């Protein structure tokens, strides 16, 4: 089994590409059947501001039993935090 990749940073952009092969460990039957998959995953992340970014990724998996899986994810998380110093003005 293998897993390798590369990452590139450009201003507010981050690009990542990976290729991997792994065993599928979901239940006892996948272990008995010796199912594994190999594929690739590509992602791009844009940092709008310090607290807000956007991520999009796509993955393609080929299973050893002849099945394929396509996966796409989009996310736009916002980081919220309370102030570390309360305002105590009276």
Domain ranges of the chain: 3-75
20 vs 90, more confident: 20
d(C-alpha 80, C-alpha 70), whole Å: 32
Q: Which residues contact 63 (CB under 8 A, 6 or more apart)?
A: 24, 35, 36, 37, 69
d(C-alpha 1, C-alpha 12), whole Å: 33
pLDDT of 45 reads: 95
pLDDT of 19 reads: 97
Q: Around Cβ 85, how many Cβ atoms within 10 Å?
A: 6
Strand order in the sheet with 53-63: 3-10, 13-23, 36-47, 53-63, 68-75
pLDDT band at residue 88 using 50, 70 and 90 as cut-offs = low
In this prediction the pTM is 0.74
Per residue in 5-64, pLDDT (tens digit) is: 999 999 899 999 999 998 888 888 878 888 899 999 999 999 988 888 999 999 999 999
């Amino acid at each position: 089994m293998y897993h390798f990749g590369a990452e590139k940073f450009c201003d507010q952009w981050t690009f990542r590409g990976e290729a991997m092969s792994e065993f599928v460990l979901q239940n006892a039957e996948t272990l008995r059947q010796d199912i594994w998959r190999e594929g690739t995953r590509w992602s791009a992340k844009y940092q709008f501001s310090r607290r807000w970014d956007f991520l999009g990724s796509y993955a393609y998996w080929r299973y050893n039993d002849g099945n394929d899986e396509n996966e796409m994810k989009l996310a736009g998380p916002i980081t919220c935090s309370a102030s570390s110093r309360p305002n105590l003005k009276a």
